[in-house]
Amino acid sequence: MVRVVLRFKKTAFLRFLSAIETATMVERVLRRAQLPLVFSRGYHRKPKISFIDAVPTGVADLALYVRVLLKERVSNISKAISDVSVKNLHLAGVWWTDTDPNACVDRYAFRAFLKACDVQRLLLQKDESFTREKKGQQMEFKIRDFFKDVEINLVNNIVMIKYFQERSRMAKPGFLLGKLMREGKNPILVQRTDALCGETPLNLYLGGP
């Protein structure tokens, strides 16, 4: 048996699929590709597939990493998958490796595109707080504790916001962009652009471009 790590890019309207719907879609694509999948035992046998952390519904995912256990190596796996994949689910990388992405990834890179807004207000918003439930209690957190290294640029009347989130401290983009969203200045697009192991992008950590 061999393990392969696949990187997909889930774009356009597919970003509105939930985590479960995304997992089901990927599994069906791999089945249609007729890969020699290894299945679990029992009455409800499932292919042995694992995913890195899901993105919130509505966020485009350019770093959807999937680890698959196969009975044997497939020489034309990229073509086999691409030929049967659904629209806007693009295979972007293949690595034959025993490395488990879930064992090394510790943070993710994101970016959001918005219509022109008050950038200074957005910068100040990083120091504000929000509440969320933890162990049955409402607790207060600082936005800056969840959104790291926030970088804001204005390009052709579009604001591009880049930020990182630690895997252990994930929060929805709305906590950072909340006030602007409530005022009707909704993000045009939010994307997860990469998964990182320390400072190294996962694709390079796995040994390829």
Domain with 28 in it: what CATH number?
A: 3.30.70.580
40 alpha-carbon distance from chain centroid? 26
Q: What is the pTM of this model?
A: 0.86
The residue among 69, 103, 137 that closes a domain is 103
Q: Does residue 135 carry a pLDDT above 60?
A: yes
- Domain of residue 166, CATH code: 3.30.70
State the pLDDT confidence band at 152, using cuts at 50, 70 and 90: confident
For the ranges 19-33, 87-101, 141-155, which has the lowest average pLDDT?
A: 141-155
State the pLDDT confidence band at 164, using cuts at 50, 70 and 90: very high
For the beta carbon of residue 67, count every other beta carbon within 10 angstroms: 20
How far CA 162 is from CA of 114, 119, 174, 189, in Å, comes to 12, 13, 14, 12
Q: Is residue 209 part of a domain?
A: no
Q: Does residue 183 carry a pLDDT above 70?
A: no
Q: Does residue 54 carry a pLDDT above 80?
A: yes
Are residues 66 and 124 both part of a single domain? Answer: no
Are residues 130 and 179 both part of a single domain? Answer: yes
State the pLDDT confidence band at 99, using cuts at 50, 70 and 90: very high
Are residues 15 and 94 both part of a single domain? Answer: yes
For the ranges 57-66, 93-102, 132-141, 180-189, which has the lowest average pLDDT?
A: 180-189
Are residues 98 and 191 both part of a single domain? Answer: no
Are residues 179 and 98 both part of a single domain? Answer: no
Are residues 48 and 69 both part of a single domain? Answer: yes
Q: Does residue 118 carry a pLDDT above 70?
A: no
177 alpha-carbon distance from chain centroid? 18
- For 110, phi then psi, to 5°, come to -130, 160
Choice between 176 and 79, residue whose per-residue pLDDT is larger: 79
Are residues 95 and 121 both part of a single domain? Answer: no
Are residues 125 and 82 both part of a single domain? Answer: no
Q: Return d(Cα 32, Cα 84) in angstroms, integer.
A: 6
**Are residues 3 and 94 in contact, defined by beta-carbon separation less than 8 angstroms?**
no
Task: Provide the residue range defining the domain that includes 145.
Answer: 107-198
**Are residues 110 and 173 in contact, defined by beta-carbon separation less than 8 angstroms?**
yes
Mean pLDDT of 7-32: 96
